[in-house]
Amino acid sequence: MKKFNTLISSAVPLPIEEVDTDQIIPARFLKATTREGFGDNLFCDWRYLPDGSPRPEFILNNPLYSGQILVAGRNFGCGSSREHAAWALADFGFLVVVSSFFADIFRGNALNNGLLPVQVSADFLHAIFSAIETNPKAAFEVDLERQTFTIISTGQSEHFEIDPYKKMCMINGYDDIDFLLSLKEKITAFEQTRLPKA
């Protein structure tokens, strides 16, 4: 997994709530057997017309907006457990997703792929959207060590929560599997204590 520490970037605003993982990557694109290439179909049905040409009104097709941060409405990533949603966002080039509320499975999948979910208050989310509205190139700073998200133009900053273990993994680029593999003896010993075996 890639390491993450700090990021300064402009952001892409998606002020829609309840963005489910079927919107992030529709099921018909889940037939690939590798983790790469999903970015091309990120938000496919919002991003493209049925004939494959870009929908001009969709934010990812607007050259005014760019950056490695996606800012979205509450309950981002609800629905299907497909990790392809996190892969698609990362493959497109996002490193951070900001929302006022994340669905559980998406949050976990994002963290397992070096994509940082930053949960902020509803008021602060509004302030971020306002800053982008004022200046589409407005810059933001994400500092994982200090757990802060800052609107550079206004100096407003908010602390965000992250599990200390997952923070350590993100900063060092560790995967859960490395840790679990180191526990195999304990796991085997645990199995032997379980009688009757469920």
Partner 1 sequence: MGKTLFDKIWEAHVVTQAEGGIEVLYIDRHLIHEVTSPQAFDGLRQRNIAVFRPRQTVATADHNVPTRDQHLPISEKLSRFQVEKLTENCAAFGVDLYGLGHPYQGIVHVIGPELGITQPGMTIVCGDSHTSTHGAFGCIAFGIGTSQVEQVLATQCLLQKRPKRMRITIDGQLQAGVLSKDIILYVISKLTASGGTGHFVEYAGSAIRSLSMEARMTICNMSIEMGARGGLIAPDETTFEYVRGREFAPKGAAFDAAVQYWRSLYSDDDAVFDTEYHYRAEDIEPMVTYGTNPGMGIGISQAVPASPETGSAQTYEKSLAYMGLQSGEHLAGKAVNYVFIGSCTNSRIEDLRIVADYVRGKQKASNVHAMIVPGSKQVEAQAKAEGLDAIFREAGFDFREPGCSACLGMNEDKIPAGEYCVSTSNRNFEGRQGPGARTILASPLMAAATAIAGRIVDVREFLN
Q: How far apart are CA 80 and CA 76, in angstroms?
A: 12
The encoded tokens of residue 105 equal 């499975």
Does 17 participate in binding partner 1 (rule CB under 8 A)?
A: yes
| CA of residue 9 relative to chain centroid, distance | 15
Closest CA to 113 of 17, 18, 59, 38: 38
Sheet holding 69-72, edge to edge: 11-14, 69-72, 96-99, 116-119
Is residue 135 a contact partner of residue 193, using CB atoms and an 8 Å limit? no
Positions 59 through 118 that interact with partner 1 (CB under 8 A): 73-75, 78-84, 86, 101, 103-105, 108-109, 112-113
The Cα 5–Cα 139 span in angstroms is 17
Residue 40 lies near partner 1 (rule: CB under 8 A): no
CB of 95 to partner 1, least distance (A): 17
Q: Could you tell me how many residues of this chain bind partner 1 (CB under 8 A)?
A: 55
Q: Which is nearer to partner 1, 63 or 186 (CB)?
A: 186
158 binds partner 1 (CB under 8 A): no
**Smallest distance, Å, CB 178 to partner 1?**
9
Contacts 24+ apart (CB under 8 A), 150-153: 151/127, 152/8
CB-nearer residue toward partner 1: 104 or 159: 104
Please tell me the total number of residues recorded for the chain in this structure.
Answer: 198
Which string of x and - marks every residue 116-155 that binds partner 1 (by CB under 8 A)? ----------------------------------------
Q: Nearer Cβ to partner 1, position 40 or 137?
A: 40
Q: Which residues contact 117 (CB under 8 A, 6 or more apart)?
A: 76, 77, 96, 97, 99, 102, 106, 107, 110, 111
Stretch that binds partner 1, among 60-68, 91-99, 130-138, 159-167 (CB under 8 A): 159-167
List residues binding partner 1 (CB under 8 A).
15-18, 20, 22-23, 26-28, 30-35, 45, 50, 73-75, 78-84, 86, 101, 103-105, 108-109, 112-113, 163-165, 175-177, 179-181, 183-184, 186-187, 190-191, 194, 196, 198
